[in-house]
Structure 1
Amino acid sequence: MATAEQHHVLARPEFDEPVKILIVVAPYYKDIADNLVAGAQAEIEAAGGTWELVEMPGALEVPSAIGIADRRSNFDGYVALGCVIRGETTHYETVCNDSSRALQLLGLQGLCVGNGILTVETRVQAEVRADVLGQNKGGGAAAAALHLVALARKWGSQSKGIGFKPAGQDIQIAGSNDGSKTA
Structure 2
Amino acid sequence: MSGSGAPTIEVTRVEDARVAIVAAQWHPKVTDGLLAGALRALEDSGVTDHTVIRVPGSFELPVASLHAAKSGYDAVVALGVVIRGDTPHFEYVCQAATDGLMQVGVTTGVPIGFGVLTCDNDPQALDRAGLPDSREDKGYEATQAALSTLAAVRQLKV
Judge same fold: TM > 0.5, yes or no: yes
C-alpha RMSD over aligned residues: 1.6
- Which has the larger helix fraction? 2
Determine helix, strand or coil for the equivalent of 1:8: coil
Q: Is 2:120 the counterpart of 1:121? A: yes
Instruction: Find runs of 4+ consecutive structure 1 residues off by over 6 angstroms.
Output: none
1:132 Cα deviation from its structure 2 partner:
4.3
Higher Rg: 1
Alignment of 1:1-183 (within 5 A): 1-2=1-2, 5=4, 7-15=6-14, 18-50=16-48, 51-71=50-70, 73-109=71-107, 110-133=109-132, 134-157=135-158
1:6 Cα deviation from its structure 2 partner:
6.3
1:69 Cα deviation from its structure 2 partner:
1.7
Tell me which of the two structures has the higher relative contact order, counting C-alpha pairs closer than 8 angstroms and 6 or more residues apart.
Answer: 2
Percent of aligned pairs with the same amino acid: 34
Equivalent pairs counted in the alignment come to 154
Determine helix, strand or coil for the equivalent of 2:151: helix
Equivalent-residue separation in structure 2 for 1:106 and 1:90 (angstroms): 24
Determine helix, strand or coil for the equivalent of 1:53: strand
**Unaligned regions of 5+ residues in structure 1, if any?**
158-183
Equivalent-residue separation in structure 1 for 2:6 and 2:78 (angstroms): 22
Match of 1:165 in 2: none
- Opposite residue 139 of structure 2, the aligned amino acid is G
Match of 1:168 in 2: none
TM-score (norm: length of structure 2): 0.91
TM-score (norm: length of structure 1): 0.79
